[in-house]
Amino acid sequence: MALFDIFKKKKAEQQVQAATQENTPTEEQHSTVEVAEPTSESSQQEEIDEGLKKTKEGFFGKLARAVAGRSRVDESFLDDLEEVLITSDVGVETTVKIIDNIQARVARDKYMNTAELNDILREEISALLQECEEKQANFGLNITEGTPYVVMVVGVNGAGKTTTIGKLAAQLVKAGKKVYIGAADTFRAAAIDQLQVWADRAGATMIRQNMGSDPASVAFDTLKSAVANNADVVLIDTAGRLHNKVGLMNELAKIRNVMGKIIPDAPHEVMLVLDGSTGQNAFEQARQFTAATKVNSLAITKLDGTAKGGVVIGISDQFGIPVHYIGIGEGVDQLKIFDRREYVNALFGNK
Ligand SMILES: Nc1nc2c(ncn2[C@@H]2O[C@H](COP(=O)(O)OP(=O)(O)OP(=O)(O)O)[C@@H](O)[C@H]2O)c(=O)[nH]1
Ligand SMILES: [Mg+2]
C-alpha cells in the first residue's frame, strides 16, 4: 500500500470515529431537521447527481486514463478496466462479473471501440443493481391498512441508523402516516436523546425506557403502543453493534422474536444501514450482518463527500438485497429512495 493510501485510510478511519463520537446533534444540526417540499423529478436527479459527484469524478477520471490513447476494447484494456472498477469500490466479485460479460460481448462482436464502452458499462451496471419495487407512495414503504409496518434498523456504530430513522420518520409523517419510533438503542443515554430530537422534529411518537434497559422490552412496548394507537409505521432503532460480537448479534435475534409476539410477521423489514464512505469495510459489515440476521433491505449512507459510491453496485449485486434508500447528506430531505435509473444517470449522464 502506497504511503499516500495509508494516509488516506487513516484519515477515513478518524472521520468515522469522529462521526461516531458526535452522535448527539448540536442545535445547529437540529435546525437542518425540517420537512422539505416535494421535489420534482428533474431536481431529484440533480440532487442525486450532486450527491454522487465525487464517485462519478473518481470513476470517470480513472476510466478516462484507461481509455486514453486507445481505440478498441482488447484484453489489455479489460485488465485496466478491471482495476478501475476494483479501485472504485465495486468489489472483486462484481467486477469479475462485469468484465466477463464485456469479454463475452467483445468475443461476439469481434470489434468494440472504446467509445461504445460507456453505454455497455451503463447497461451492465444497471442490470446488477437491485432495487425495492415499492416507489414513491409512503416514501417507499409497503404499508398496508390495519397493521403497523415494522422496520428494524441495524448496523455498526456511526453508520447512520438514527439519522436515517429520523429522515424516514419525517418523510412518512409528511406523507400523512402515523409513525412510532422505538428507542431500542439503550446503551447510551445520548443515543436515546438524539433519537428523541429527530422524533419530535418529525412529529413522530417515540417510545423509550431508561438507559440500560432491555432493548427487546423497548421494542415490545413500541409495537404494543403502535397497535393500540393504529400507527401505520414502526421504526426500531438499535445499538451500533460490532459485527464480531456474537452476544450483541444474539440480541438482535431476541428483539426480532419479541416483536413477532405482537405482530406475527414483524419485522416486515430488517434494514441494514451501511456507511458508503467506508468502501470495502461496508462489504464486510454486510457479510457479517446477513450471516447473523435476515436482512431484507439496505440503506447506504454518506454517499455525498465520498468517491466510494461504487459500493452500491457491488453490495447490491453480491448480497442480492435491494438498496432501499441512499443517504446523500445530513439534511432531512437528503435520504432518497434508491432508483437505479437515477443512480446510473448520475454516473453516466441522463438517458
Ligand atoms: N454527510 C452525511 N452524513 C450522514 C449521513 N447519514 C448520517 N450521517 C452522519 O453520520 C453520523 C452518525 O450518524 P448516526 O445516525 O448517529 O449513526 P448511528 O448508526 O445511529 O450510530 P450509533 O448510534 O453510534 O450506532 C452523524 O453525524 C450523521 O449526521 C449522510 O447521508 N451523509
Ligand atoms: Mg444511533
CB 20 less than 6 A from any atom of ligand 1: yes
Q: What is the pLDDT of residues 32-56, one digit of tens each?
A: 444 445 556 669 999 999 999 999 9
What is residue 263's predicted lDDT score, i.e. its pLDDT? 96
Residue 112: pLDDT band by 50, 70, 90 thresholds? confident
What is residue 134's predicted lDDT score, i.e. its pLDDT? 67
Q: What is the mean pLDDT of residues 121-139?
A: 83
Long-range CB contacts (< 8 A, 24+ apart) of 26-29?
A: 29/330
CA of 191 to the centre of ligand 2 (A): 6
Closest C-alpha to 234, from 182, 307, 286: 182
Residue 138: pLDDT band by 50, 70, 90 thresholds? confident
* Kind plus residue range of the DSSP H or E element containing 318: helix 311-319
CA of 212 to the centre of ligand 1 (A): 22
CA of 159 to the centre of ligand 1 (A): 6
Closest C-alpha to 312, from 94, 115, 123: 94
What is residue 31's predicted lDDT score, i.e. its pLDDT? 37
Find the ligand nearest to 274 CA. Answer: 1
CB 159 less than 6 A from any atom of ligand 1: yes
Find the ligand nearest to 158 CA. Answer: 1
What is residue 33's predicted lDDT score, i.e. its pLDDT? 40
140, 44 Cβ separation under 8 angstroms: no
- Residue 241 alpha carbon, nearest atom of ligand 1: 25
Please name the residue whose Cα sits nearest to atom 16 of ligand 1: 23
Q: What is the pTM of this model?
A: 0.86
Find the ligand nearest to 195 CA. Answer: 2
CA of 109 to the centre of ligand 1 (A): 47
CA of 98 to the centre of ligand 1 (A): 32
Please name the residue whose Cα sits nearest to atom 14 of ligand 1: 160
Find the ligand nearest to 159 CA. Answer: 1
CB 240 less than 6 A from any atom of ligand 1: yes
Share of the chain above pLDDT 70, in %: 85
pLDDT of 12 above 50: no
Residues with Cβ within 5 Å of ion ligand 2?
161-162, 191
CA of 108 to the centre of ligand 1 (A): 47
CB 327 less than 6 A from any atom of ligand 1: yes
What is residue 300's predicted lDDT score, i.e. its pLDDT? 97
Residue 111: pLDDT band by 50, 70, 90 thresholds? confident
Strand segments (E) across the chain: 149-154, 179-184, 205-207, 233-238, 269-275, 297-301, 323-327, 335-337
Strand segments (E) across 208-348: 233-238, 269-275, 297-301, 323-327, 335-337
Q: What is the pLDDT of residues 264-315, one digit of tens each?
A: 999 999 999 999 999 999 999 999 889 888 999 999 999 998 999 999 999 9
pLDDT of 8 above 80: no
Share of the chain above pLDDT 90, in %: 63
Closest C-alpha to 212, from 191, 197, 233, 231: 191
- Residue 239 alpha carbon, nearest atom of ligand 1: 25
What is residue 189's predicted lDDT score, i.e. its pLDDT? 87
* Residue 213 grid cell: 434497559
Q: What is the pLDDT of residues 187-233, one digit of tens each?
A: 888 999 999 999 999 999 999 999 999 999 999 999 999 999 999 99
Q: What is the pLDDT of residues 229-270, one digit of tens each?
A: 999 999 999 988 655 567 777 888 899 999 999 999 999 999
CA of 19 to the centre of ligand 1 (A): 7
Residue of 28, 53, 163, 197 best suited for mutating to test ligand 1, as the one with most atoms within 8 Å of CB: 163
What average pLDDT does the chain have?
86
Residue 20: pLDDT band by 50, 70, 90 thresholds? very low
Distance CA 330, CA 338 (A): 17
Residue 116: pLDDT band by 50, 70, 90 thresholds? confident
CB 161 less than 6 A from any atom of ligand 1: yes
